[in-house]
Amino acid sequence: MRILLIEDDPQAARYITRGLREAGHVLVVANNGADGLSMASDEEYDVLIIDRMLPSMDGLSIVQSLREQDNHAPVLILSALGDLEDRVSGLRAGGDDYLPKPFAFEELLARVEALGRRPNQGNVTTHLTVADLKMDILGRKVQRADKPIVLQPREFRLLEYLMRHSGQVVTRTMLLENVWDYHFDPQTNVIDVHVSRLRAKIDRDFEEPLLYTVRGAGYMLREPE
Amino acid sequence: MNRSNFLASSTFRLTLLYVVLFTVSVLLLFSFIYWSSVRYMAIQSDAAIRTEIQALAERYESRGVPGLRRLILDRITRQQPTGSSLYLLSDPLGRPIVGNISRWPQVAPKDGWFNFNLDTSDRDEPGLHPARARRFQLTGGFQLLVGQDIHELKSAQRRIITALSWGVILTVLLGLAGGFFISRKMLTRLEVINETSQRIIAGELDQRVPMSSRQDEFDRLSSNLNQMLDQIQELMDGIRQVSDNIAHDLKTPLFRLRQKLESLTSGTSPDPAASLNLQDALAEADRLLNLFNALLRIARLESESARTIKRSLPLSDLVRDVAELYEPLSDEKHQHLSVNVQTPVAILADRDMLFQALANLVDNAVKYTPEGGYIWLTVTAEASSGVVTVCDSGPGIAPAEREKVFQRFYRADVSRSTPGNGLGLSLVRAVVHLHNGKLALLDNDPGLCIQVALPRILNDLKP
């Protein structure tokens, strides 16, 4: 993916750039807001990563200007202000996702990739398939190798999210935000228990597992190698 | 304020002392008034007697016994029937010639004065009347006695005593009533200050003592207290700011450290032991970062006012979501987690923050309740609030520790072995305060109930 990073802190920029390049992405970096805005307007990028606090022009204004120019490139806002209010104002300004600093690199990578593969609006998916696992979203039915699997509503939504992002790392925070729709920090890893329950239903009776745990990052649903 | 409280108040005791002092001085003053008026009356009466003797002696000198006798008779007649003057003229042998008493008093004179009791059975006011008289030796052996029935004088003295006694009683009564009134008034104003202090102790740090427009000493006291509170608040804000800054400033280098560790782990590591250590170091760094984040979040919540975005929420939905999230976790411990919504109630809250607070409570309940235990989540509605009660059948919290569990980093003895950072309940408290709610720890016998009451929206039934 072509990614534009607008970040004034050179150390943070280096860290993000190196990591994303290692993950196989093309990185372009702007170290202030004005440059960043002109670069984002001139060329097309798959994802924009914008630091909220920037010299010359703050991150939220950049997002607002881009949206006014009818530029709908997915934007991930980075901010040291991790509070809810800031998150809400960030998303209201037109950001697609919001990541409070500091963050684990896996979290950033997972979110950037999720943003980059966000399905185009208008294309409504009704069926999802990963290997022999099939989901009928409208019919609320799941089957693997033609065997029906009965899921609780929350398990269904969890699996749907994982299938939509198959082949991608999905972090626990992303699951909480997207499946449960709450932004909060669980004291214990409640998500793990939900995932292992789901895993018991979709993987236990089958030879090849589909749902993997990515150490230090989260989970990934993918086709067996 | 109750009665014993009032009687024990120092204002009342002061007033009492004041009343006693005042009564003593009134008594002294009245005694002096009594003494001087009695003395004046006695002097007046004696002077009248002397003047009368003088006048009678002069008459005797000029007109002799007959003239004196006529004058005495005249005097007696004129003052009939109630006169108080006493006359007796006797010849050299002591036989009475004229007078309104029958005989000489049977007492020994002192300095020429007789103090005796007069038998007044023949007069219209019978009984023994006190009397005072003086003897005068006329030339030729005649003796003259002039005196006064001082019965009137004595009763006047008694009336003065009665009047003064009433005065003393009234003084005491008025003094007590006044003291009562004044101390009440004082206590009422002090009570306002006390109540405010109580509220501040209870945690409402933004409370201030109300002031009147009189600018009196109470207002000066209130104003001083308020200034003191402002200063304390400033200091506290300062401390919070400093710890906030420390957490913030430590966070960045810690984060960089984490980044370095992270980049090391992603590289190829030939030594599996080293890579395991790196993983541990990374986990430790994450734990520290989470701690700092939690601290900063609490600090921000505490300094925030009610300006946070709040919207109307059905409390039961939130509680069901929390229960749903934690159900598998409690299931693993074979605990029975149940939700009981008695009354659906809407509250004004920030959804994510409240979820975080409730999740922390349920998280604790799951953590501390033994295997096979029970956890109950109950939603009830009160007149002005929606209440969530999280009860468990765990070990509970000793009453002495209840206030402490909300302090940052505090961990009850029973919880030392369980994972956690000691910030969970501090965060709950910060969130509840921010929502103008109330937090209470109750006994579940055995176990603990934590009750969160949040202001409810009363017109929640409207579309």
- Residue of A15, A88, A184 with shortest CB distance to B355: A184
- Domain spans of chain B, in order of start: 3-156, 217-303, 311-455
Q: Is A109 exposed, middle or buried (0-12, 13-18, 19+ CB in 10 A)?
A: buried
Which chain A residues touch B308 with a CB distance below 8 Å?
84-85
Would you give the end-to-end CA distance of chain A in angstroms?
23
- Residue A84: its chain B contacts at CB < 8 A? 308-309, 350, 352-353
| Per-residue pLDDT at B266 | 66
> What is the predicted pLDDT for the residue at B188?
85
DSSP A55-104: SSS-HHHHHHHHHHTT----EEEEES--SHHHHHHHHHTT-SEEEESS--
Q: Which residues of chain A have pLDDT under 70?
A: 81-85, 118-124
A12: left (phi over 0), alpha (psi -120 to 50) or beta: alpha
Put simply, the answer to whether B293 touches A185 (Cβ < 8 Å) is yes
What residues contact A160, with CB distance under 8 A and at least 6 apart? A128, A135, A137
What was the pLDDT predicted at B1?
47
Burial annotation B169-188 (CB, 10 A radius, 16+ → b, else e): eebeeebeeebbeebbebbe
Mutate to test the interface with B, among A184, A198, A199 (most CBs of B within 10 A): A184
CATH number of B311-455, picked from 3.40.190.10, 2.40.50.100, 3.40.50.720, 3.30.565.10: 3.30.565.10
- The full length of chain B comes to 463
Nearest C-alpha in A relative to B419: A188
- Whether residues B300 and A83 touch (CB distance < 8 A) is answered with yes
Q: pLDDT tens digits for A172-208?
A: 888 998 898 888 878 778 899 999 999 999 988 888 8
Q: Please, what CATH class does the domain formed by A2-116 belong to?
A: alpha beta
Q: Each residue's pLDDT tens digit in chain B (463 positions)?
A: 455 566 667 777 888 888 888 889 988 998 998 899 889 988 988 898 899 888 888 888 888 888 888 888 888 888 766 667 888 888 888 788 888 887 888 888 888 888 888 776 655 566 778 888 888 888 888 888 888 888 878 888 888 889 888 988 988 898 888 888 888 888 888 888 888 888 877 667 778 888 888 888 888 888 998 999 899 888 877 877 777 777 777 877 887 888 788 777 766 666 778 878 888 888 888 888 877 877 777 777 776 655 566 788 899 999 999 999 999 999 999 999 999 998 888 898 888 889 989 999 999 899 889 999 999 999 999 888 899 999 999 888 877 777 777 776 676 665 555 666 677 888 888 888 888 888 888 888 888 899 999 988 876 444 4
Measured distance CA(B196)–CA(B183) in Å, rounded: 20
The closest alpha carbon to B361, from B292, B429, B286, B436, belongs to B429
Q: For domain B3-156, is the CATH number 3.30.450?
A: yes
Q: What is the pLDDT of residue B263?
A: 76
Q: Do A193 and B263 touch (CB under 8 A)?
A: no
Gap between the Cα atoms of B196 and B216, Å rounded: 19
Q: What is the pLDDT of residue B81?
A: 60
| DSSP string covering B280-343 | HHHHHHHHHHHHHHHHHHHHHHHH--TTS--EEEEHHHHHHHHHHHHHHHHHHTT-EEEEEESS
Q: Which of A53, A188, A213 to mutate to test the interface with B (most CBs of B within 10 A)?
A: A188
A19 vs B contacts (CB less than 8 Å): 263
Distance from CA of B405 to the nearest CA of A (A): 16
Q: Is the CB of A84 less than 8 angstroms away from the CB of B352?
A: yes
- Which residues on B lie below 8 Å from A81 (Cβ)? none
- Spans of all domains in chain A: 2-116, 127-221
Could you name the CATH architecture of A127-221? Orthogonal Bundle (1.10)
Terminal alpha carbon distance of chain B: 46
Task: Give the H or E element holding residue B359.
Answer: helix B351-368
- Joined tokens for residue B257: 């450290």
Measure CB to CB from residue B329 to each of A85, A154, A190 and give the nearest one: A190
> Considering the entire predicted model, what is its pTM?
0.62
Fold of B217-303: Helix Hairpins (1.10.287)
Taking an 8 Å cut-off on Cβ atoms, the answer to whether B300 and A101 are in contact is: no
Q: How many helices (H) and strands (E) does chain B have?
A: 8, 12
Beta carbons of A22 and B359 less than 8 Å apart = no
Out of A84, A105, A194, the one facing B353 most closely (by C-beta) is A84
Largest CA distance in chain B: 160
